[in-house]
Protein backbone atom coordinates (compact mmCIF):
# COMPACT_ATOMS: atom_id res chain seq x y z
CA UNK A 1 0.00 0.00 0.00
CA UNK A 2 0.91 3.63 -0.27
CA UNK A 3 0.76 5.75 2.89
CA UNK A 4 1.17 9.50 2.73
CA UNK A 5 3.02 9.12 -0.53
CA UNK A 6 5.35 6.33 0.54
CA UNK A 7 5.21 2.70 -0.50
CA UNK A 8 4.87 0.22 2.29
CA UNK A 9 4.54 -3.51 2.51
CA UNK A 10 4.05 -5.72 5.54
CA UNK A 11 2.12 -8.54 7.14
CA UNK A 12 -1.02 -8.46 9.18
CA UNK A 13 -3.35 -10.97 10.76
CA UNK A 14 -6.70 -10.85 8.91
CA UNK A 15 -8.46 -9.54 11.98
CA UNK A 16 -6.08 -6.62 12.48
CA UNK A 17 -8.07 -3.42 12.07
CA UNK A 18 -6.60 -0.87 9.69
CA UNK A 19 -6.50 1.73 12.45
CA UNK A 20 -4.37 -0.53 14.62
CA UNK A 21 -2.12 -1.34 11.69
CA UNK A 22 -1.63 2.37 11.02
CA UNK A 23 -0.98 3.14 14.68
CA UNK A 24 1.04 0.11 15.77
CA UNK A 25 2.79 -1.20 12.68
CA UNK A 26 3.31 2.03 10.80
CA UNK A 27 3.79 4.10 13.97
CA UNK A 28 1.48 6.81 12.68
CA UNK A 29 -0.33 7.58 15.90
CA UNK A 30 -2.13 10.70 14.71
CA UNK A 31 -5.20 8.63 13.80
CA UNK A 32 -7.14 7.83 16.97
CA UNK A 33 -9.63 5.33 18.36
CA UNK A 34 -12.64 6.65 20.28
CA UNK A 35 -15.27 3.93 20.15
CA UNK A 36 -15.98 0.32 19.24
CA UNK A 37 -18.81 0.59 16.76
CA UNK A 38 -17.78 3.08 14.08
CA UNK A 39 -19.70 6.04 15.49
CA UNK A 40 -17.14 8.58 16.61
CA UNK A 41 -15.04 9.07 13.47
CA UNK A 42 -11.77 9.76 15.33
CA UNK A 43 -10.19 7.09 13.14
CA UNK A 44 -11.18 8.74 9.83
CA UNK A 45 -8.54 8.57 7.08
CA UNK A 46 -8.62 8.85 3.29
CA UNK A 47 -8.43 5.58 1.41
CA UNK A 48 -8.30 5.76 -2.36
CA UNK A 49 -9.46 9.35 -2.22
CA UNK A 50 -12.48 8.81 0.02
CA UNK A 51 -12.86 9.15 3.75
CA UNK A 52 -13.45 5.94 5.64
CA UNK A 53 -13.41 5.00 9.31
CA UNK A 54 -10.25 2.98 9.62
CA UNK A 55 -11.61 1.05 12.61
CA UNK A 56 -14.30 -0.31 10.26
CA UNK A 57 -11.80 -1.57 7.69
CA UNK A 58 -9.50 -4.55 8.02
CA UNK A 59 -5.85 -3.90 7.27
CA UNK A 60 -5.98 -6.63 4.65
CA UNK A 61 -8.79 -4.81 2.84
CA UNK A 62 -6.31 -1.98 2.28
CA UNK A 63 -4.09 -4.14 0.14
CA UNK A 64 -2.98 -1.98 -2.78
CA UNK A 65 -4.71 1.10 -1.43
CA UNK A 66 -3.53 4.70 -1.43
CA UNK A 67 -3.90 6.07 2.07
CA UNK A 68 -3.69 9.56 3.49
CA UNK A 69 -3.57 10.20 7.24
CA UNK A 70 -3.30 13.45 9.18
CA UNK A 71 0.48 13.14 9.14
CA UNK A 72 0.37 13.50 5.37
CA UNK A 73 -1.59 16.74 5.28
CA UNK A 74 1.19 19.21 5.82
CA UNK A 75 4.04 19.50 3.30
CA UNK A 76 7.07 19.53 5.54
CA UNK A 77 6.60 22.64 7.67
CA UNK A 78 3.93 24.06 5.44
CA UNK A 79 0.53 23.43 6.96
CA UNK A 80 -2.46 22.58 4.82
CA UNK A 81 -4.96 25.47 4.63
CA UNK A 82 -7.43 23.34 6.59
CA UNK A 83 -4.92 22.87 9.40
CA UNK A 84 -4.20 26.59 9.44
CA UNK A 85 -7.88 27.39 9.53
CA UNK A 86 -8.53 25.11 12.52
CA UNK A 87 -5.65 26.70 14.36
CA UNK A 88 -6.69 30.25 13.58
CA UNK A 89 -10.32 29.67 14.49
CA UNK A 90 -9.88 27.66 17.67
CA UNK A 91 -11.41 24.64 15.96
CA UNK A 92 -9.88 22.21 18.44
CA UNK A 93 -9.54 21.82 22.19
CA UNK A 94 -8.23 18.48 23.41
CA UNK A 95 -7.29 17.55 19.84
CA UNK A 96 -8.33 13.91 20.04
CA UNK A 97 -11.09 14.02 17.41
CA UNK A 98 -9.21 16.58 15.34
CA UNK A 99 -7.26 14.38 12.93
CA UNK A 100 -10.45 12.60 11.87
CA UNK A 101 -12.24 15.94 11.51
CA UNK A 102 -9.43 17.32 9.36
CA UNK A 103 -9.77 14.38 6.99
CA UNK A 104 -13.55 14.73 6.76
CA UNK A 105 -13.15 18.46 6.14
CA UNK A 106 -10.65 17.77 3.39
CA UNK A 107 -12.99 15.34 1.66
CA UNK A 108 -15.90 17.75 1.99
CA UNK A 109 -13.99 20.69 0.54
CA UNK A 110 -12.46 18.67 -2.26
CA UNK A 111 -15.92 17.72 -3.37
CA UNK A 112 -17.74 20.90 -2.50
CA UNK A 113 -15.38 23.89 -2.44
CA UNK A 114 -18.05 26.29 -1.30
CA UNK A 115 -20.35 24.46 1.11
CA UNK A 116 -23.25 26.00 2.98
CA UNK A 117 -23.31 25.70 6.74
CA UNK A 118 -25.82 22.87 6.51
CA UNK A 119 -23.59 21.01 4.05
CA UNK A 120 -20.65 21.46 6.39
CA UNK A 121 -22.55 20.06 9.36
CA UNK A 122 -23.79 17.19 7.25
CA UNK A 123 -20.26 16.56 6.03
CA UNK A 124 -18.92 16.18 9.56
CA UNK A 125 -21.88 14.37 11.13
CA UNK A 126 -19.71 11.26 11.35
CA UNK A 127 -17.13 12.98 13.53
CA UNK A 128 -18.12 13.32 17.17
CA UNK A 129 -16.53 15.98 19.34
CA UNK A 130 -17.19 16.45 23.03
CA UNK A 131 -15.10 19.59 23.53
CA UNK A 132 -15.91 22.20 20.91
CA UNK A 133 -19.65 21.99 20.44
CA UNK A 134 -18.79 22.20 16.70
CA UNK A 135 -19.29 25.98 16.53
CA UNK A 136 -15.65 26.80 15.84
CA UNK A 137 -15.21 23.64 13.77
CA UNK A 138 -17.84 24.94 11.35
CA UNK A 139 -16.16 28.33 11.36
CA UNK A 140 -12.78 26.73 10.67
CA UNK A 141 -14.14 24.82 7.70
CA UNK A 142 -15.77 27.93 6.31
CA UNK A 143 -12.47 29.76 6.65
CA UNK A 144 -10.60 26.89 5.05
CA UNK A 145 -13.02 26.90 2.12
CA UNK A 146 -12.44 30.60 1.61
CA UNK A 147 -8.69 30.31 1.84
CA UNK A 148 -8.55 27.32 -0.50
CA UNK A 149 -10.63 29.16 -3.07
CA UNK A 150 -8.37 32.17 -2.85
CA UNK A 151 -5.38 29.92 -3.47
CA UNK A 152 -7.09 28.45 -6.48
CA UNK A 153 -7.82 31.93 -7.75
CA UNK A 154 -4.18 32.81 -7.41
CA UNK A 155 -3.25 29.74 -9.42
CA UNK A 156 -1.40 28.34 -6.42
- Pick out residues in 55-84 that bind other proteins (CB under 8 A): 55-58, 60-61, 63, 69-71, 73-74, 79, 83
Phi, psi of 145 (to 5 degrees): -60, -45
Q: Which is nearer to other proteins, 37 or 155 (CB)?
A: 37
Which position among 96, 142, 146, 147 is part of the footprint of other proteins (CB under 8 A)?
Answer: 96
Question: How far apart are CB 137 and other proteins at their closest, in Å?
Answer: 7
Total count of residues recorded for the chain: 156
**Of residues 105-124, which lie at the interface with other proteins (CB under 8 A)?**
107-108, 120-124
> Taking a C-beta distance cutoff of 8 angstroms, is the pair 4, 70 a contact?
no
Per DSSP, which regions of 24-139 are E strands?
Answer: 44-47, 50-53, 66-68
Question: How far apart are CB 66 and other proteins at their closest, in Å?
Answer: 14
Three-state DSSP class for residue 110: helix
Three-state DSSP class for residue 132: coil
**Of residues 6-35, which lie at the interface with other proteins (CB under 8 A)?**
13-17, 20, 23-24, 27-35
The site map against other proteins for 123-152 (x = CB under 8 A) is xxxxxxxxxxxxxxxx--------------
- Residue 68 zone, left/alpha/beta (φ > 0; ψ -120 to 50; rest): beta
Q: How many residues bind other proteins (CB under 8 A)?
A: 79
Amino acid sequence: MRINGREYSGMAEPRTLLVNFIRDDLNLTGTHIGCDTGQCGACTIMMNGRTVKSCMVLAVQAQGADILTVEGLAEGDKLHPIQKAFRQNHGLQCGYCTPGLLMSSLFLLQRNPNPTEDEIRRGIEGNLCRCTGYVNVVMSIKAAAKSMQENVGKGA
